[in-house]
Structure 1
């Protein structure tokens, strides 16, 4: 059976592994990063029309300050982040179906103008359009030490899943060129794919930047 190596941080890695197992795939988790909270000062809620979270880690790491924004319409880049917001007490949550730029367009279409974005210290580029976005980091992704078990687990024919440009760059720095030639790579976006370097047995990204789309590509590689 082809092995799927999931390199995203926990707890998202565990969710991806569970979905992979449900598809009958042999999945292993080898995170390259771990989220850590960042001290922040919550601005007044009445300064904004809406709240945006682009990662479930932002919900988890924002702490008690997040509760101040329960009255604002909340937007999430995807369903996993939306579930985290609902679990944190937000009743009015809209889940996007694309990337950050897509959910920002939705927010503008809904008539909002002043947006609070609680995010990580590194954020994928997004088009602000007419919105005035105030972005506040509430967490960072700390690099974990190189894991020798990742290289050992990456046996020929394995499929590696990359969920961010930063993870792609980190993987490229750790995976020897000779070993890449035996491995398949699936990145969540073309931007993430571009950071992974060259020399892979195959390298691709789904049409939509979704975990399920990545797993569908992985499943086809395993057939």
Structure 2
């Protein structure tokens, strides 16, 4: 059986590892980034029609300021982000299943126009359409010491990529000529494209969902 290496940050890496272990997979965790909370000033909630989070890390690291926005209609990209918002006290979070542009279109269709977007320093671009997005970074993803990744993975391996930035860093860490023994499963086409070429095989989940990624990885690991 090919081992599965999870490259996403904690605590998500641990959740993914638990699910993978339940599938009987051989699992290793090697986070390429770790999240660091940032200080930020919270604008009055009355200035906004809705709240958008595009990462579960934003819900986890926004701190006590996040609570003042609980009365706003809440939107999230992905079920994991929605679950993190619900754990932070938000009710009836609307989750989009693709990307920020798709959930922005849903927010606009619901009649909202001025939206507070709490996110990371590095986040995927969003086509906001008619929305006025007020973006505030509440966390930053810092690179971990992953220079030994290639040496640590000596056999044919399946790698999980949970973001375009992770794909970019993986491509920087593993030279083209050494990629032929690695299989890539990415959370989105954008994350997959960031990995570049030369891999043994590549797959992207049809929706940004951990369970879909693991279903693809399971077949490759067997």
> Structure 2 length normalisation: TM-score?
0.94
**Partners of 1:46 and 1:92 in 2: how far apart?**
19
**Partners of 1:66 and 1:166 in 2: how far apart?**
25
Conserved in 2, the CA contact under 8 Å of 1:48 and 1:115?
yes
Q: Which segments of 5 or more consecutive residues in structure 2 lack a partner in the other structure? A: none
Conserved in 2, the CA contact under 8 Å of 1:154 and 1:183?
no
2:171 corresponding residue in structure 1: 172
State the shift of 1:221 in Å: 1.2
Q: Secondary structure at the match of 2:195?
A: coil
State the shift of 1:113 in Å: 1.1
1:57-72 matches, within 5 Å, as 57-72=57-72
1:125 corresponding residue in structure 2: 125
Over the aligned positions, Cα root-mean-square deviation in angstroms equals 1.4
1:124-163 matches, within 5 Å, as 124-148=124-148, 150-163=149-162
**Mean alpha-carbon deviation: is it higher for 9-18 or for 97-106?**
97-106
Conserved in 1, the CA contact under 8 Å of 2:79 and 2:209?
no
1:65-124 Cα shifts (integer Å, max 9, x gaps): 111101111111111111111111112311222211121121112111111000001111
Q: Secondary structure at the match of 2:217?
A: helix
State the shift of 1:46 in Å: 0.3
Matched pairs, number: 222
> Structure 1 length normalisation: TM-score?
0.94
Runs of at least 4 residues off by over 4 Å: none
Q: Secondary structure at the match of 2:181?
A: coil
**Partners of 2:150 and 2:48 in 1: how far apart?**
46
State the shift of 1:141 in Å: 0.3
State the shift of 1:2 in Å: 1.4
State the shift of 1:147 in Å: 4.3
2:112 corresponding residue in structure 1: 112
**Partners of 2:137 and 2:131 in 1: how far apart?**
18
**Partners of 2:96 and 2:145 in 1: how far apart?**
33
**Mean alpha-carbon deviation: is it higher for 195-204 or for 164-173?**
195-204
**Partners of 1:205 and 1:80 in 2: how far apart?**
18
1:11 corresponding residue in structure 2: 11
State the shift of 1:133 in Å: 0.8
Q: Which segments of 5 or more consecutive residues in structure 1 lack a partner in the other structure? A: none
